[in-house]
Chain A
C-alpha cells in the first residue's frame, strides 16, 4: 500500500505532473517554516522546467533562493542548512550536472550519520530532472539514477504518477536522511487525474500499475507511460502484461517485484539507463537470486542504446526504450 486515503475523502482533479510537483512544494513551504527551495533559476525564472513558477512571488526570496551555477557549493550549503535544523529542498537542473555535486552527496550527505556515530542526520531533499526524449542532447539527457541507487545512506525516488509527484515530497521531507528525487523530463507535461482521496504516499513500496497474468513489466519513472502503452497493445493480442512501477530505487521493494514474477513467471525490465550496470541489472539479479524457480523464460531487458543520447530526433527515439521495443521484448519472453 503506497497511498494513504484521507478520512474526509476528496475529489479527483485534472492536473499535470509539473503542477502536481509545484502543489507538493507549495504545501511543504506552507506547512513547515524550515522548508526552503534553492537552485539554479528556481526563483525569478520559475525553474528551468517551470516547476517553481510563482513560488518566489508567494514565499519571497528568503525561501525561494536563486543560486549561481555552482552545484557543489549550493548542494553543500543545503547539507549545512539541513545539519543546522532546516529542511532544504535543493533543485539541480539535470542529473548530468549533479555529478559536480556528487562529492557532497556521496561523501557528505550519505555518510555523515555514519561518520558522526549517529549524531548528525542530514534531512535534505535533492530534486533533479533526469532522462531523454526532448532533444536536449548528450549533456542533458542521461539517466543516472541507477548510479545513485548504488549508494547506501540515501533514498532514491522516481515519482512517475500524478499522486506520487504530488505527495512524495512531503514524505521525503519527513525522512530524517538524505533523499534524492528524480523527475523525468518527459513527464512534466503529462496530464492526469489526481486522486483527491489520497493525502500521503509511502516511500518504500513498488506499485502494480496494471494487472496481468502473462508477464511482469518492471519499470519506473519516464518509462512507466511507455510500459503502460505497450501493455495496452499487448492486451489487444491477448497477452496480459502486469506493470510494476518501482517508485523507489533505494530501497528497492523486491518483495512486490518477486510477488508479481511469482504470478506471471516472466519478467521484462524497462530502464531508460544504459544496460550495463544499470538498476535493471540489479532487478534482474534479484529475480534470478530469489525467484529462479518461478521463471519460465529468461529475464528480458529493454534499455537505452549504450551511446551518448543523440540530438537528432529519430536517432534519439531509436536510442531509447519505446512501446514497440517493449512489446517486442514481451513477445520474446512469452514466446
Chain B
C-alpha cells in the first residue's frame, strides 16, 4: 500500500486492474485505492509478472503492506543480428566489433567509456548482459537495538531511514534525524509547541483538570520530566502523536498592518505608559475574535468528532527566562475589551516568567497561537497540540512593499498561518478564518 499523501496511513483496495500471470510494466496502473480523501489509481513500481495478489478488494490495510508480488521477467534479448552490424560513428577496435556482432549489440547505441570515447569490450558486455533489474526483496534493515527502540517510540519507519553507521547500519541519531525531518518545515514550530508541552508540567493541576487526551501527554511529561531527556521524550511522544493522528492542512496569508499599527500608535499617544498597547495584544485579540466568528476551528477533537468550545480560550506561548515555554490561556479573549486583553497579557507574561501561573490558566486552550516573530522568522506553520484542531502561527511584523491604489508603498505586514485538522474542518473553513483575521485587523477600532 503506497503512501499517497503525507497524512495517509492506511488505504482501502477498491479494485485490481491486473490479474495473476499478467505482465506489468513500471508506471502501469494496476489497482484503485481509496484513501480518506479520494480514490486514487496506483501505479506499479516494478516491471515483471504478477505472481500473487495478496489483498482482496474491499480490504483496508496500513501503508507499507504488500499488495501483490511481482517477479522480474527475464529480459528478452533480441535474437543475434545476422550479417554486419552497422557501426555508425562509433569507434571500436575490430575485436570489439566482432564481439558486438556475436552478442547482437548495436554499437551505434553504445556510449564508449574507453579513451577518446572508444567502445570497449566491457561496454559491449554490459549492453549484452544488463544487470538484472533490482527486485524489491524484503531485506532486513540493519539497525542498532537503540535505534529500533527509538524508531518504535517515535513512529519512524526504519526501512525508510538511511543508515550512517558502519555497513549502512541505522543508528539512533539517524532515527532522530528522520523523526525531525518528517515534520519538515514545521520543525521550528515543533520545538516551540513541544516546549509548550513540556511547560505544561509547571502546572501539574492543569494536566489533572484537562479532560482531553492531552492530559495523558502532559501527565507523562510531568511524571518523567526530571531531565531534559525525558522532557524531550514527552515532547517527542506528543508531537509524534499530533503528526501521526492529525491530518494537518496549512494555509497562509500576509496581512497589511498599516491601519492597525497606525490606530495603535494614535491610541498609545493618548494612553498612560502603563496602559499602552503592543502589536501582540492586537494580533491576539484579532485571532480570538476570528475564532468566535469561525467556531469550526475553536474546540477539541474528542472521541472521533469535533466538539466546538463555548468560549475562546486562547493558548499563548510565553518564553520563560532560563529556557522553556509555558502556554497560559487567555480566557474569553474574544469578549474582552482590547485594553483588558493587554492588561491580562502583561499580567500572564509577568507571572509566567516568575512561575506563578494558576492551574486554571494553563488548562484547556481551545486554540493556540505560536508567535515566532520575535525570533525573526517570517512565518511559522505550527504542529497542532492535541486535542485542539488548529494552530495559528504569526511571523515577524516587517515592512514589505504592497500595492496601494496603483502605487507601491512600504507597509508593516505580518504573515499569519493556520495549521488545521482536516478531520474537523476543510480548507474553505481555514481560508475563511484567515480572511476574517485580515478583515478584523483592517478595523482595529472595532476590536
Contact = CB atoms under 8 A, between A and B. Distances in A.
Interface stretch (B139-147, B239-247, B270-278): B139-147
Contacts of B166: 297, 332, 335
A140 interface: no
B300 interface: no
A295 B145 contact: yes
A20 B381 CA distance: 65
A292 B148 CA distance: 11
B145 A292 contact: yes
A46 B410 CA distance: 94
B149 A335 contact: no
A296 interface: yes
A265 B165 contact: no
User: Quick one: which of A295, A296, A297, A332 has the most chain B CB within 10 A?
Assistant: A296
User: Quick one: which of B145, B148, B165 has the most chain A CB within 10 A?
Assistant: B145
A108 B172 CA distance: 50
A297 B164 CA distance: 12
B171 interface: yes
Contacts of B148: 293
A297 B171 CA distance: 7
A285 to B, nearest CB: 15
A68 to B, nearest CB: 55
Nearest to A294: B146
Interface string A163-175: 0000000000000
A146 B171 CA distance: 32
Contact of A294 (B145, B165, B171): B145
A293 B146 CA distance: 5
A265 B153 CA distance: 17
A294 to B, nearest CB: 6
A335 B165 contact: yes
A217 B294 CA distance: 60
A301 to B, nearest CB: 16
B145 A293 contact: yes
Interface string B290-303: 00000000000000
A294 B147 CA distance: 9
Nearest to B147: A296
A295 B146 contact: yes
Contact of B172 (A296, A332, A335): A296
A125 B176 CA distance: 51
B144 to A, nearest CB: 4
B144 A295 contact: yes
B165 A297 contact: yes
A200 B74 CA distance: 77
Interface string B249-275: 000000000000000000000000000
Interface in B89-146: 144-146
A43 B410 CA distance: 97
Contacts of A293: 145-146, 148-149
B383 to A, nearest CB: 27
A335 B146 CA distance: 15
A265 B172 contact: yes
Contacts of A295: 144-146
Nearest to B169: A297
A180 to B, nearest CB: 35
B163 to A, nearest CB: 11
Interface in B142-170: 144-149, 165-166
B57 to A, nearest CB: 40
Nearest to B152: A293
User: Quick one: which of B146, B165, B171 has the most chain A CB within 10 A?
Assistant: B146
B150 to A, nearest CB: 9
A15 B34 CA distance: 79
Nearest to B173: A296
A296 B147 CA distance: 6
Nearest to A332: B166
A246 to B, nearest CB: 23
Nearest to B164: A335
Nearest to B148: A293
A210 to B, nearest CB: 21
A292 B147 CA distance: 11
Contacts of B172: 265, 296
Interface in A280-298: 292-297
A293 B144 CA distance: 8
Contacts of B149: 293
Contacts of B146: 265, 293-296
Contacts of B144: 265, 295-297
Nearest to A297: B144
A294 B148 CA distance: 10
Contacts of A332: 166
B114 to A, nearest CB: 38
Nearest to A335: B166
Nearest to B175: A296
Nearest to B170: A296
Interface in A319-335: 332, 335
A93 B276 CA distance: 87
A295 B170 CA distance: 12
A160 to B, nearest CB: 30
A334 to B, nearest CB: 9
A332 B171 CA distance: 13
B149 to A, nearest CB: 5
A293 B145 CA distance: 5
Contacts of A294: 145-146
Contacts of A335: 165-166
Interface in B26-66: none
Nearest to A291: B145
A265 B146 CA distance: 8
Nearest to B166: A335
User: Quick one: which of A265, A297, A335 has the most chain B CB within 10 A?
Assistant: A297
B77 to A, nearest CB: 43
Contacts of A265: 144, 146, 172
B376 to A, nearest CB: 30
A52 B149 CA distance: 54
A37 B149 CA distance: 54
A296 B202 CA distance: 33
B314 to A, nearest CB: 41
B140 to A, nearest CB: 16
A297 to B, nearest CB: 6
Nearest to B144: A296
A161 to B, nearest CB: 30
17 contacts: A265-B144, A265-B146, A265-B172, A292-B145, A293-B145, A293-B146, A293-B148, A293-B149, A294-B145, A295-B144, A295-B145, A296-B145, A296-B146, A296-B147, A297-B144, A297-B165, A297-B166
Given A296-B145, A297-B166, 8 more contacts: A294-B146, A295-B144, A295-B145, A296-B144, A296-B171, A296-B172, A297-B144, A297-B165
Q: Which 6 A-B pairs have the closest CB atoms?
A: A296-B146, A296-B144, A296-B172, A293-B149, A293-B145, A295-B145
